[in-house]
Structure 1
Amino acid sequence: MLELPEAPSWGPFTNIQLPDGVLLQFAEPPVEIQMKHYAFLIDDELFDRAYRRLFDRGIEHGGRGVYFKDPAGHAIELITRPYL
């Protein structure tokens, strides 16, 4: 999704190497790992390509969203799907 090269993988993990040296490891169940939240800052063009891949593959996702502040400083969120 992030257009990063795969790194050597081992065991139940598929590894991805980020440019700053961080190694992300993804495991398929039945490996029991507590769910975490990760955010990636990417440019608009990569976001559009990644979103298209999610959509084309039928991967469940939360839609698109954007966050901004109004002139009074209130946080505003626009989303395309409701939170469940």
Structure 2
Amino acid sequence: MTVRFNHTIIAAKDKERSARFLAELLGLPEPQPLGHFLAVKLDDGVSLDYIQTDIDFIGQHYAFLVSEDVFDSLIAKIRDRGIEHWADPRGQRRGEINTNDGGRGVYFQDPSGHYMEALTVPYGGW
């Protein structure tokens, strides 16, 4: 028997804005309605199911392993749009990317306050 990650629910102040923000930045297909949710499908079949809520929530961390070309496109969009970003999770290296483990990485927040990370090489390297 195998175990694979299938989906997670992400709380959002505005599910349309948050789902479209992530899908567009990462070059993913347009988010699709799924019941109460707006689903962003990743390339491996996992979906991020955004749900709108008025309840206060703490921003969560979501990390995406991306190809070099997706990273190039992402960082260009981040810079062109003036989206605040950091090379580190504590936000001490503002406006930079990192080169950890022989790859590249960046941190940024989505419109709902979630902490997003994109990296081209997993922690510890290949």
TM-score, with length taken from structure 2: 0.44
Gaps of 5+ in 2: 1-24, 87-95, 106-126
Give, in whole Å, the separation in 2 of the partners of 1:12 and 1:31: 16
Report sequence identity in percent: 34
| Larger Rg computed on CA atoms | 1
| Post-superposition offset of 1:7 | 2.8
Quote the RMSD (CA, aligned, Å): 2.9
Residues 22 and 33 of structure 1: CA distance in aligned 2, closer, same or farther (over 3 Å)? farther
| Post-superposition offset of 1:32 | 2.8
- Corresponding residue pairs, total: 70
Gaps of 5+ in 1: 70-78, 80-84
| Post-superposition offset of 1:52 | 0.5
| Post-superposition offset of 1:60 | 0.8
- Select the structure that is richer in helix: 2
Residues 44 and 15 of structure 1: CA distance in aligned 2, closer, same or farther (over 3 Å)? same
Q: Which of 22, 30, 47 is the aligned partner of 1:6?
A: 30
